[in-house]
Structure 1
């Protein structure tokens, strides 16, 4: 067990500890996306008014576009050997990176909570208790797995990718036995707002992985091809999410109110009774465990990165690691218990609102890494507020703020709708604005000076 427990946190992974191949990204992200929350996300496209055919096409487009952005972040991991948000200090400053980091932590807590609601129902059924007990048990298992760390996370991904894939094949066959696929495919009445909602739902799903995707590729050997890392990440994440979301579209189109009343209960009943039902409950819990461990691990990394920027901390003890993970678990569990009775509507708004905060960060990060710094970072300076990147990089922070504000006129959520939404027929295009505007502004500003860009990458460890 001692050899399994991860020792690294925000420090660079040295070459002699690197291992694995780019294919590991495929199994991890396939397993993380073959799960009940992705099913619910796909179902939302129909629940809120979309048709079957154009919802599936819109979800596919969003998964490919958002997945490509997410996979570009993944390709940074083998090159730098760092967690994703640590290298955001190169854009925002050693302390300035705390601005997007605080929002990232909120995201992780939110996804932990939303995942725990659905997984808690499954665990409650498996243990013959109730949803509340199921949520608490699930949270404890998640925290223990995240504490062990990187190796067990990838092992979990490999197991989940196989078991969940087999379960989804079985559930798909059962669904098509009940439904008339020909009739469903005739349900095609194009509506631009509903189509863009489907694109936004899946794009936001993919983009939300961006702030931590490199955390799970940073142990790959430095010689790992960036193209291989990109394509295996994209293919695993897009395939898994599209598979789940398409299933969700078909379930919502055929089940309607029965699915809305109990998402987990309906999917299990679709599978069968007795031992089969127990297996489906287990699959739901396993799929959610995979992605919730990623959220907990990413949240812990982000909290350490935030605190260490002010404390100068470069390494973390096992006790400290456990404490940070416990904080994420307690916060996520509390939110899950408070919000478990109004999950569906709240989750849709949560996804779309989160998107407004992470598209500008993603745009700035990718432009800086690939176009400005050209993959050259001074790694020791990422821990030095007085170094090359400084404590606060106000140019990037201002661009980030502009990116946030630029989206508001185009944003559609339950609690706020922008003034330019009606002229667009009710379509939400805020995420497109949130990528394009800050990317262009940051490129125009950052290319005017080379002060923050080393002539060559500096690979010395920060630890």
Structure 2
């Protein structure tokens, strides 16, 4: 195995490889873990009944994955990581604004997924939680260090293992007795339903800042249509499946969320309990490799305009180690308040990330239609400039205009209160950039940037 030599730089034609079909196991496996399952259990714990929780999960994933997979389709055409492409919208320096948000997302999931995996690790090997956190993060560091190709291979094999194991888990979960009337479609609560859809849509959008990182090595003539659909199918099937299992366990197992790893493993008996703990650990290793790899990409993208970093294997290892160390320290420090942190984190995720994804997709599909000059994305004096204030203002306004619509455990906006708690903030975050970004940027592109672009074909989506 060789350490990946590329970081945030363009992947040239001679290094492109792979097929769009390879994206299905990448994103299927990226969802087949206990953090996804806990998200489903969290949806049910909000107070929605069993049937409507499942409907909300399916709808949320179907909607959120449209945006997530649309980002994936950019990878082969541009050949660069997802977040550095944001420089074309925000400017080379201005892109630091969404990058800080992305880094919070990576660290948030690094902490939450790492803690759940460490709990399973501690139970499997009868050691303390803090040593388990350290050991699991060390394993994550070693895998992420090797980069793109190793992650693809890992996901290919893990996906088959997860499919088999969670197929058995699903059968066993359906055999657990549930309270009478659980299958009734009555008791629909529109407020909780909208909040549940928002949470599961945000789950899919959490992949958006790094989804193109795993399609950027595909040949440049790869069909965007296939890139989109293999990504979409893998992530929807994996996430919806695990979240529905989470709903079943939250319904059937009292206080499931208090110890989700142990409660999941205990549906087996004898040596199979240990096996289930190992599967949980592998799942968390899988997703935290994505989180650590994404955090590395974001960190180097922030620093590159000021330092012109040359990413050698030693520099790469240093960055990965420092990020792992920070994530480990925060996980150890915050291990006692996981569920409160996780629920508020998911709210923050949608609140801050949705306007970014809307701006990026509006720019790519509606304004520039895939036409970018890659060298200018790395040039402070290029056509995209240092800071694009149109984008910064649109992004900040989009976040600000969501505030009256949000419904969280720590704050409920006035509009949400007037609507009996219904949370439409994520809809506002998607729509507002159409007004504050699309029209000003359409004029700017037409008058200032329309010069010899490099075109990426997006007509097949």
Partner of 2:349: 354
Aligned-partner Cα distance in 1 for 2:16–2:337: 44
Aligned-partner Cα distance in 2 for 1:287–1:67: 20
1:260 aligns with 2:257: yes
Q: Which moved more, 1:445-454 or 1:321-330?
A: 445-454
1:311 aligns with 2:307: yes
State the shift of 1:327 in Å. 2.3
Partner of 2:240: 242
Q: Which runs of 5+ in 1 are unaligned?
A: none
Q: Aligned-residue CA RMSD in angstroms?
A: 1.5
1:351-398 per-position Cα deviation (integer Å, ceiling 9, x unaligned): 111211111111111111111111010111111111111111111111
1:334 aligns with 2:296: no
State the shift of 1:458 in Å. 6.9
Partners of 1:196 and 1:427 within 8 A in 2: yes
State the shift of 1:122 in Å. 1.2
Alignment of 1:25-104 (within 5 A): 25-104=23-102
Partner of 2:175: 177
Partners of 1:95 and 1:310 within 8 A in 2: no
Q: Which runs of 5+ in 2 are unaligned?
A: 457-461
How has the CA–CA distance of structure 1 residues 280 and 391 changed in structure 2, closer, same or farther, with 3 Å as cutoff?
same
Secondary structure (helix, strand or coil) at the match of 1:421 reads: helix
Size of the aligned set, in residue pairs, is: 454
1:181-207 per-position Cα deviation (integer Å, ceiling 9, x unaligned): 984322641001111121011111001
State the shift of 1:166 in Å. 1.1
State the shift of 1:213 in Å. 0.4
1:138 to 117, 126, 136: 136
State the shift of 1:133 in Å. 1.3
State the shift of 1:50 in Å. 1.1
Aligned-partner Cα distance in 2 for 1:167–1:352: 30
Secondary structure (helix, strand or coil) at the match of 1:33 reads: coil
Aligned-partner Cα distance in 1 for 2:193–2:352: 22
Aligned-partner Cα distance in 1 for 2:320–2:257: 32
Partner of 1:385: 380
Partners of 1:193 and 1:427 within 8 A in 2: yes
Alignment of 1:181-220 (within 5 A): 183-186=181-184, 188-220=186-218
1:106 to 104, 107, 113: 104
TM-score, normalising length: structure 2:
0.96
Secondary structure (helix, strand or coil) at the match of 1:447 reads: helix
State the shift of 1:180 in Å. 4.8
1:227 aligns with 2:244: no
1:302 aligns with 2:302: no
State the shift of 1:423 in Å. 1.0
Q: Which stretches of structure 1, 4 residues or longer, exceed 6 Å deviation after superposition?
A: none
Secondary structure (helix, strand or coil) at the match of 2:414 reads: coil
1:283 aligns with 2:274: no
Partners of 2:406 and 2:425 within 8 A in 1: yes
1:293 aligns with 2:289: yes
How has the CA–CA distance of structure 1 residues 158 and 226 changed in structure 2, closer, same or farther, with 3 Å as cutoff?
same
Aligned-partner Cα distance in 1 for 2:139–2:308: 31
1:22 aligns with 2:4: no
State the shift of 1:179 in Å. 2.5
Aligned-partner Cα distance in 1 for 2:450–2:120: 50
Partners of 2:123 and 2:262 within 8 A in 1: no
1:248-284 per-position Cα deviation (integer Å, ceiling 9, x unaligned): 0111011132x122111100001x1232111111111
State the shift of 1:329 in Å. 1.1
1:404 aligns with 2:399: yes
State the shift of 1:99 in Å. 0.7
TM-score, normalising length: structure 1:
0.95
Aligned-partner Cα distance in 2 for 1:454–1:283: 52
